[in-house]
Amino acid sequence: SRPILEASPSWYRWTIRYSPGSTLTNLEVSLLCVGPASVFFLWFVTAGLFVLVSKMSKLHTVIYKFLLLFGIACVSDWFLTFIVDVASSAFSQCIPNGFADSSLLSRQQLKALSDVCNSEIYRIWYHFRLREGDGSVAPVIIFIVYMGLTSIETVMYYTYILNFHEDGRILDLYRRLIAKEGTLFCPLDVEVSPAELMTILQKSRRWRGKDGARRNLVVTEI
């Protein structure tokens, strides 16, 4: 267990502060995955529900666009979080003031800084710095974790876009483009009723362009 020093939500982030020196390494590393993985899991569940609904009724185009943009945001969650941290000056609480080298800081000073730090990237550095005396391995772990998560999420997102987005329209379009002539079934029955034909002709006859242009109607076969 670890003491939670602060847990305060806001409209752009949820701040959770604790002492990184009191956690195990595997737990600290897993905390890097919890945020991005949870956000992507939310998109995964949302997309799955809409896919099930689309099997029963047609969805509006806005919903598909929302799933596209929401998915992109979830895949790049860690990068967006980094931008928010930079914009909100969250890193300023994690950087020691008045010290050019972190090696000059005592353990008490490091612990005090780690307790007020609310950035996951810096907390894992403080974790290794406090427990092992060297935090240089932290950037490597962060890179591996985030690149691994991004790769897995990108593959899952691509699978959705290819096979399920708008009932598999992209995959269907691809198959139509590469299909050989004669393999696609094209029905010859394009008959319409006389009433429907008259409606189409009358609508075309009434059409007027911006400059008064009209459409010429030619019936070649009845």
Decide which of 175 and 210 is more confident: 175
pLDDT of residue 100: 42
Best-predicted range by mean pLDDT (48-52, 105-109, 164-168, 206-210) = 48-52
Q: 122 pLDDT exceeds 70?
A: yes
Whole-model pTM: value is: 0.66
pLDDT of residue 48: 92
In this prediction, residue 9 has a pLDDT band, given cuts at 50, 70 and 90, of low
3-state secondary structure of 129: helix
Average pLDDT over residues 24-51: 87
CA angle 28/32/33 to nearest 5° reads: 120
Share of the chain above pLDDT 90, in %: 20
Best-predicted range by mean pLDDT (77-86, 92-101, 104-113, 212-221) = 77-86
Average pLDDT over residues 37-42: 92
Q: How far is CA 47 from CA 27, 50, 66, 118, 149, in A?
A: 29, 5, 10, 31, 19
pLDDT in tens, 72-89: 999 998 898 888 877 877
Neighbours of 122 (CB within 10 A): 22
CA angle 8/13/19 to nearest 5° reads: 55
Q: How far apart are CA 198 and CA 154, in angstroms?
A: 51
